[in-house]
């Protein structure tokens, strides 16, 4: 307990690893892959690809479906993600059409609809810590693959259609699949194995990058419609609290502008040793931004979620997403947490206000950080509060 956190992340990882270690202390592992694959990024353009396999049978789909995780505890997520043993096989990013069986079966897994029986033979026993990322979902120990086999994969029908359409651009494929109701996580998985796009441009895409690429693509496509819609008629505040993360989403009756502000308390992922609260922000106004967001993939996940609601309502708004990450958020579990938390908040009833001051006062009653500090660290709120407009004269 020297870290000062309310719960110790080391002991959480230790207990999860102890549960799984006896099941994986061998060179051959068989189980029902959720289905799940992982495409690494180290050494790019020479990268490691391969399946992720739990030593379990039956329906394991929940292990790789983040859309189903918000009702689970952090311990649950660590437990079932630590079961995923990652096999590694080195390829070039251009090898998507390779006849190598490991490449072929990795792609088939990524396109599959349901859990698939998978057997892997490793050259070494799986070893290593449980890997936690700020953008990708965590996974368990890894090992180099000698070979692996899968049994009767059934492709997700809509993804299969996009895969065989080698003239369809990846942007169109991703958006069409979303409109047909395919889970974001399934689209991201297929995207990572180069399943979409004009054939000669298809590549393996590291899992971390594919997650942000899909969130960004969907957000931008929805934003085209958002920008043509009439403004909302009131100030709204949506609120959600989970995993010791507090979310307040402010929507304002203005043309499109957007900002994500994250406040990380001491002893959290992005502020492990600080004595004070660290605050980061990224933003865009109506014309958008041309550089990658400083705050990373979370920016694009939250932007997508906000536009999802606005396009559903045929409305336009200025959006500020505020996040307080408290010490109970003991380890990163992936950028999915941002997307699904904002989505969940926006499905709940909102508080309605006539003025921005009223909305901000309500936010200050829900968040611990003083209102003035949020404003000081916000480009959009400062613009709305202090920038003179023609109607002011």
pLDDT band of residue 24 (cuts 50, 70, 90) is low
Pairing of β 318-325 and β 257-264: parallel
pLDDT band of residue 109 (cuts 50, 70, 90) is very high
pLDDT band of residue 273 (cuts 50, 70, 90) is confident
Residue 240 confidence (pLDDT): 96
State what percent of residues in the chain have pLDDT above 90: 76
pLDDT band of residue 104 (cuts 50, 70, 90) is very high
- The structural domains of the chain, with segments of one domain joined by +, span 9-157, 158-218, 235-392
pLDDT band of residue 368 (cuts 50, 70, 90) is very high
What contacts 208, CB < 8 A, 6 or more positions away? Answer: 41, 133, 135, 136, 297
Tell me the C-alpha to C-alpha distance, in Å, between residue 107 and each of 37, 39, 120, 237.
8, 11, 15, 42
What would the pLDDT profile of 331-340 be if each residue is shown by its tens digit?
Answer: 778 899 999 9
285-314 mean pLDDT: 96
Residue 136 confidence (pLDDT): 67
Structure tokens at 327: 């010490």
What would the pLDDT profile of 194-228 be if each residue is shown by its tens digit?
Answer: 999 999 999 999 999 999 999 999 999 999 999 99
| pLDDT of residue 26 exceeding 90 | no
- Cα distance between residue 204 and residue 311, in whole Å: 31
Residue 16 confidence (pLDDT): 56
| pLDDT of residue 8 exceeding 70 | no
What would the pLDDT profile of 246-264 be if each residue is shown by its tens digit?
Answer: 999 999 999 999 999 999 9
| Lowest model confidence (mean pLDDT) among 10-14, 91-95, 172-176 | 10-14
Residue 134 confidence (pLDDT): 65
Name the average pLDDT for the chain.
91
170-186 mean pLDDT: 97
359-371 mean pLDDT: 97
Residue 13 confidence (pLDDT): 54
| Lowest model confidence (mean pLDDT) among 3-12, 309-318, 343-352 | 3-12
Residue 209 confidence (pLDDT): 95
pLDDT band of residue 391 (cuts 50, 70, 90) is low
155-177 mean pLDDT: 97
283-295 mean pLDDT: 96
More confident position, 135 or 187: 187
| pLDDT of residue 135 exceeding 90 | no
| CB contact at 8 A, 194 and 96 | yes
| pLDDT of residue 22 exceeding 60 | no
| pLDDT of residue 281 exceeding 60 | yes
């Amino acid at each position: 307990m020297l870290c000062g956190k309310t719960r110790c992340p080391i002991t959480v990882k230790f207990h999860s690893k102890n549960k799984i270690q006896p099941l994986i202390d061998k060179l051959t592992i068989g189980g029902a892959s959720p289905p799940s694959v992982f495409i690494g990024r180290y050494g790019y353009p020479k990268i490691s690809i391969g399946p992720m396999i739990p030593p379990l049978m039956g329906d394991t789909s929940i292990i790789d479906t983040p859309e189903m995780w918000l009702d689970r505890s952090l311990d649950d997520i660590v437990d079932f993600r630590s079961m995923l043993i990652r096999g590694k096989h080195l390829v070039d990013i251009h090898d998507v059409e390779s006849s190598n069986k490991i490449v072929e079966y990795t792609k088939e897994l990524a396109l599959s609809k349901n859990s698939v029986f998978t057997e892997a033979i490793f050259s070494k026993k799986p070893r290593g810590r449980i890997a936690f990322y700020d953008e990708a979902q965590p996974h368990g120990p890894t090992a180099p693959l000698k070979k692996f086999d899968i049994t009767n994969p059934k492709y997700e029908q809509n993804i299969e259609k996009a895969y065989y359409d080698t003239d369809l651009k990846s942007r169109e494929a991703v958006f069409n699949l979303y409109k047909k109701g395919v889970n974001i996580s399934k689209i991201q998985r297929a995207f990572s194995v180069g399943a979409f796009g004009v054939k000669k441009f298809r590549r393996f895409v590291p899992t971390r990058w594919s997650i942000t690429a899909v969130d960004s693509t969907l957000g931008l496509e929805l934003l085209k419609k958002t920008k043509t819609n009439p403004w909302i008629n009131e100030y709204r505040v949506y609120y959600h609290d989970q995993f010791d993360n507090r979310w307040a989403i402010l929507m304002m009756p203005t043309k499109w502008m957007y900002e994500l502000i994250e406040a990380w308390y001491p002893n959290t992922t992005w502020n492990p040793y600080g004595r004070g609260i660290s605050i980061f922000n990224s933003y865009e106004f109506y014309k958008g931004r041309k550089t990658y967001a400083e705050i990373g993939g979370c920016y694009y996940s939250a932007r997508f979620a906000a536009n999802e609601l606005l396009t559903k309502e045929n409305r336009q708004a200025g959006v500020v997403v505020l996040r307080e990450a408290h010490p109970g958020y003991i380890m990163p579990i992936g950028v999915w947490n941002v997307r699904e938390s904002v989505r969940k908040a926006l499905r709940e009833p909102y508080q309605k206000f006539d003025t921005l001051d009223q909305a901000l006062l309500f936010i200050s009653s829900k968040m611990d950080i003083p209102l003035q500090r949020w404003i000081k660290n916000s480009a959009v709120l400062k613009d709305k509060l202090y920038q003179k407009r023609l109607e002011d004269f």
